[in-house]
Structure 1
Amino acid sequence: MRGDAVTTARVDRNVRLDATGIADVLALARIAGDADGAEPLDEAVLLRLRDPQAAAVHLTARTPEGLLVGYAHLDVTAPAEGTGLDLVVHPAYRRRGLGRTLATAALSEADAAAPVGRAAVRAWAHGDHPAAAALAVDLAFVRARVLWQMRRSLTGSPSAPQLPDGVALRAFQPGSDDDAWLALNARAFADHPEQGRWTADDLRLRLAEPWFDPAGFLLAVEESTGRLLGFHWTKVHQRAGSTPIGEVYVLGVDPTAHRGGLGRVLTAAGLAYLRERRGLDRVMLYVDESNTAAVALYLRLGFAHWCAHVNYHRA
């Protein structure tokens, strides 16, 4: 969510965007991300933007000349649980009231779709932008969750680790491992508000992404049974004009395999893959500020706080 203070841009409502509309949104996101140092739309929004089956509301603000200068995305798939909102305004068109106009229109849309009364809305402010914080206060949102982005250099990162006895490491096999991995992911992230709810469709969309590389999706398996014990799914971000950066995309361990050091081993294995197989020199990850155990692990592994993303709620 990006805030700004009156513009002549026209706001239109869409339930589908054509290829040109999608390209315009992606271009706007790149411009805003370059200006702010944080991408304004998260991965879930980008996947839904490109998925013709995804149910969403798109609010687009264009100048009289047709330039897209503002965009709001509403995830309306589960209104009883709350509507998701992501919003971005072109840096050159801020401080004209456009952010407030888009946010107000988005809230009206959410309320209209709510089963009863006013909708619960969850809005992300990527980069913890001060203008977004001010707009959130004005619109009666409260700061509910903070997601840290942490980074480290891959220079001097651990070499390929020593696996526990009876445990082997192998690459994910699309089609064969899908169901077992989804079940493990649900167990590992049973208390996570998003990750633990992944469905087969969520996995399918990501396996179809251009960045997906099964060799970088590492599975720890019990040698005697083949049972999945943990995983480290890595990702590489490649953008024209920028140096590629790796990501600890998802890291999980079965609750029955905790306290054996498997999480640390899997982390090191993924970092070694990114450095030795992909030739990268830096890596990032996302972790909830409230997950003190994970934050402590990543600090011990040389990661440092880079920026914060704040989730605001309106009840």
Structure 2
Amino acid sequence: MMNSTYVSYFTLSAYFDTGVFKYLIFMIVMLLYLLIVGSNLLLIVVICMNRSLHEPMYLFLCSLFVNELFGSTGLFPFLLVQILSDIHTVSAPLCFLQIYCLHSYVNIEFYNLAVMSYDRYLAICCPLQYNTRMTFNKVTMLIAVTWSIPCFVILLLLSLSSSLQLCGNIIEKVYCDNYSIVKLACDDTSVNNIYGLIATSLTIVCPLILIFYTYMKIFRVCFSGCKQTRQKAVSTCTPHLASLLNFSCGACFEVLQSRFNMNNLPNTLRIVLSLYWLTCQPVFNPLLYGLNMSKIRIVCKSLVFAKM
């Protein structure tokens, strides 16, 4: 029996030898990371520097883009190092740090999407009361809740995982994952499993219930309202729904792969599926919102042409 305090490193067994192609893979991943950092950082600067975009919807978007940077930074530098490395090991403290960053990112993403759906619900269903109900103080409070609750919940989750007695140190992924650590435990993990269910309910199920409720209200108003109301709902809700579906589908892929035996799938496909929800969303959101939101497009064009 091996206590977790004596596990100094974990081995990531999902990596395989790609020969000279590892340099090509490294360049592709590097370019993807630079695209994510550049696009999200550009939109954050655009929203922060232009007072015309200091509205609740854009402030929530800014929080979303900051989270994309946070999650990407927790994954991509680690991936780049591992791609070039011949020995795919990671120290225990760094592994738990990555788990904290990635799990916090995922839960903050769901909270962000939930408060954005609530904002759209007020704008479409209660337009006359929107300015009085969505005040700056309320926006600040919602963003604070969006970040504080997931970070606290994941901190407690990791405190339970780090105290487990482990019988191995091999993680069958290309990055560190809490469930993979729990599967290595020698002793009873019922407390971890119960808290995991509670954490999932607080950070994923509750936001999804809020999103479902707000969209039921929005669809009811759309079907009973005029053409102008329907057009407004479609233009403002389509990017949000697309982002939600993209992230939720990626999460489903990851849950299915983690909980069930997927050894019959090719190793490359398993790696792509496990990375999809962590890599696609940070690329998808800036393009989706940046191209769809007319105010953001106008400000970006003015910045680009002003420098030419």
Q: Smaller-chain TM-score range? A: under 0.3
The structure whose RCO (Cα within 8 Å, separation 6+) is larger is 2
Answer 1 or 2: which has greater strand percent. 1
- Using structure 1 for the length normalisation, give the TM-score: 0.22
- Using structure 2 for the length normalisation, give the TM-score: 0.22
Answer 1 or 2: which has greater helix percent. 2
